[in-house]
Amino acid sequence: MGTMDKLKFYIDGAWVDPVAPSTLGVINPATEEIFAQISLGSALDVDRAVTAARRAFSTYSQTSIEERLSWFDKIIAGFKARLPELARTMTLEMGAPITFATQRQATVALFHFEEAARVLAQYRFEERMGNGIVRREPIGVCGLITPWNWPLNQVASKVAPALATGCTVVLKPSEIAPLSAMLFAEIVDAAGVPPGVFNLVNGDGPTVGEAIAAHPGIDMVSFTGSTAAGVRVAKLAADTVKRVAQELGGKSANIILADADLKSVVIEGVHGCYTNAGQNCQSPTRMLIPRAQRDAAFQAARDAVDSIRLGDPLDPASTMGPLVSQTQFDKVQDFIQSGVDEGATLVAGGMGRPADINRGYYVRPTVFGDVMPQMRIAREEIFGPVLSIISYDTEDEAIEIANDTPFGLAGFVQSRDAARARKVANRLRAGRVYLNGAPFDRSLPFGGYKQSGNGREFGVFGFEEYLEVKAILG
């Protein structure tokens, strides 16, 4: 057993062995070597966790705001104390460069607890309406299923509001990048959160994920991942009429209007697409440019790609690491090949690993130009550092292309004219629109239209996902 092995589950306030032993190696995507082991759970492990969570709910749901805030203070303090360790663990398990893992991966996860505490401290759970009172109460036991691309951020964006509202939790982190969530469970345990309030069971989607989605003792399931898996979760949840919150795929458009400062917004747009090596659901993966600016846009995109430092994610100088797995590497290679086959212009990058790297799931940062809206690279979520540049003739056509997608997670608009950018933003069918390089804001709602999902995360909207509404009359 190595030091990184984490073979137990956290259930009912204790680290326990799985019902039946079954292990999985965790692979470091930069070295392709197994560096840790976890256990894979079963429906029986989920059952144990749900039983603990149901029992804990009856008392935890009645705790005061002050009590919950005191646990949050301890979780936040523990998180801050272990932040470097959490960041390094994510670098090892999913390949994010250490600088990015520290400044973004770990830090944004912490923010969800600070934000949920802020909302909780001032939230009115009861208000008068008409002749009665409207009360908001915790929905119950929540099953949380999270992905590998932001392994702690997505855990925190669900666990924080669930615990703040008075719900109890059964979490299944991604089995591909599970170790940061295991460390997080240690932080919750050290904070003295009552037994059964937070439970963690490792496992794969078809076994543990499906057991959570279908379990009659779970009142709500919140899932982040692919649209296909989200559909499966919703179908399994339907038999017990659970609330389902889904944050699914994206194919976000970045509309560059003719009056924008082309060079700087194209460079920014390329880097935006490549955030987290492109393994990012809201990334601006379709760049829409005025046809007349094609050549200048291609040159700016090449300049952006040239500035990327691809390398060992533990090296602070690296700005891009490997993709998470062989499966993702193969999938992205297939997309790049399809772009070539369908006749898009290869502006930068292309097939295969970077020339000087001979191991790890590294992909060449790639840009395609002259992409037609019906090409696969323009329609499907690639989840790697691959940008599609699409030319348009009129602003109306740009909006039409942007909305011509099954997804609707985010949109981006660049213009020197704020009013013009805002007009375009209003017409985009997406849950979040960023104007002129606006920074990410975690107090504002995050979630999608169409097949990008149902429900919202972050801030007060994320908080209210975990509440039921009760009217009291008389």
Start-to-end Cα distance in the chain: 63
User: Half-sphere exposure of 364 toward its Cβ, with a 13 Å CA cutoff?
Assistant: 21
391-412: string of b/e by CB count within 10 Å (b at 16+)?
A: bbeebeebbebbbebebbbbbb
Contacts of 426 (CB under 8 A, 6+ apart): none
Burial bucket for residue 133 (CB in 10 Å: 0-12, 13-18, 19+): middle
CA distance 155 to 89: 15
Integer Cα distance of 320 and 272 in angstroms: 12
Active-site residue, selected from the candidate residues 210, 247, 395, 457: 247
Residue 167 a catalytic site member: no
- Other beta carbons less than 10 A from residue 100's beta carbon: 22
**Residue 311: C-alpha distances to residues 88, 180, 317 (Å):** 16, 22, 8
| Cα 202 to the center of its chain, rounded Å | 18
Q: Residue 286: beta bridge partners?
A: 253, 388
Angle between helices 179-190 and 65-81 (to 10 degrees): 130
What phi, psi does 143 have (nearest 5°)?
-95, 125
CA distances from 388 to 212, 251, 319, 382 (A): 37, 10, 21, 10
In this structure, the number of other CB atoms found within 10 A of the CB of residue 103 comes to 12
Contacts with 334 (C-beta within 8 Å, 6 or more apart), sequence order: none
Q: In what order do the strands lie in the sheet with 168-172?
A: 14-16, 9-11, 198-200, 168-172, 141-145, 220-224, 243-247, 453-454
**Amino acid present at 388:** S
Interatomic CA distance for residues 204 and 18, integer angstroms: 14
> What are the residues whose beta carbons fall under 8 Å from the beta carbon of 264, sequence distance 6 or more?
none
CB-side exposure of 72: number of CA atoms within 13 Å?
27
464 is catalytic: no
Catalytic residue among 281, 381, 457, 465: 281
Q: Directed axis angle between helix 65-81 and helix 83-94, to 10°?
A: 70
Q: Which residues of 104-123 are buried (b: 16+ CB within 10 A; e: fewer)?
A: bbbbbbbbbbbbbbbbbeeb
Picking from 122, 185, 142, the residue whose alpha carbon sits closest to that of residue 56 is: 142
Supply the residues annotated as catalytic: 247, 281
